[in-house]
Amino acid sequence: NAGVTQTPKFQVLKTGQSMTLQCAQDMNHEYMSWYRQDPGMGLRLIHYSVGAGITDQGEVPNGYNVSRSTTEDFPLRLLSAAPSQTSVYFCASRGGYNEQFFGPGTRLTVL
Partner 1 sequence: AQSVTQLGSHVSVSEGALVLLRCNYSSSVPPYLFWYVQYPNQGLQLLLKYTSAATLVKGINGFEAEFKKSETSFHLTKPSAHMSDAAEYFCAVKGGGGADGLTFGKGTHLIIQP
* Among positions 44, 65, 71, 86, the unique one binding partner 1 when judged by CB under 8 A: 44
* Among positions 43, 63, 75, 86, the unique one binding partner 1 when judged by CB under 8 A: 43
Report the alpha-carbon distance of residue 50 to residue 47 in Å, rounded.
10
Report the alpha-carbon distance of residue 111 to residue 98 in Å, rounded.
36
Q: State the nearest-atom distance from the C-beta of 16 to partner 1, in Å.
A: 28
Neighbours of 38 (CB within 10 A): 13
Q: How many residues make contact with partner 1 (CB under 8 A)? A: 24
Which residues here bind partner 1, judged by CB under 8 A?
31, 33, 35, 40-45, 48, 50, 56, 58, 90, 92, 97-105
